[in-house]
Amino acid sequence: MDGALDWYLLGVATGLGVAAGVAVAWLARRGPLPALGGALLAGAVAAVVAIAILAVGWAIVGGAAGLGLALAGVRRLAAQALPAAALAAAALAIVPVLGFAEAVLAPVLGARLGRRAETRHAGLRILAKD
């Protein structure tokens, strides 16, 4: 890790790991457009491996960390929202520093979704009991 380019590429690899994690969740839930999810997953993994081979060996660690954090964070996200989340994560990974921010924010936003998911339709459940 010599210069700014190495840190940038590590951030890109981490952000692409987040996108790959969202794509794995997308494919596991059989969300819409599974071919696009598979292509995004394959592309993100290939890019992380290429960055690791050509520039920064730590890219594999960053990509794996991003993938794990994204899987933990998007458990409560609706299957219909996963394609947009995966594509947005892949696009934001290219912006400097946002790859690292994605890895930090994925579990935070997942925890927020987890808290809101149980109370979101409480009033509708009361009406359905009649």
pLDDT at position 125 over 70: no
Computed over every residue of the chain, the mean pLDDT equals 83
pTM for the model: 0.80
DSSP string spanning 57-78?
Answer: TTHHHHHHHHHHHHHHHSTTS-
pLDDT at position 3 over 60: yes
pLDDT digits (tens, 9 = 90+) for 53-102: 888 888 889 889 989 888 888 877 777 888 888 889 899 999 988 989 98
The residue ranges of every structural domain in the chain are 4-128
pLDDT of residue 46: 92
| Length of the chain counted residue by residue | 130
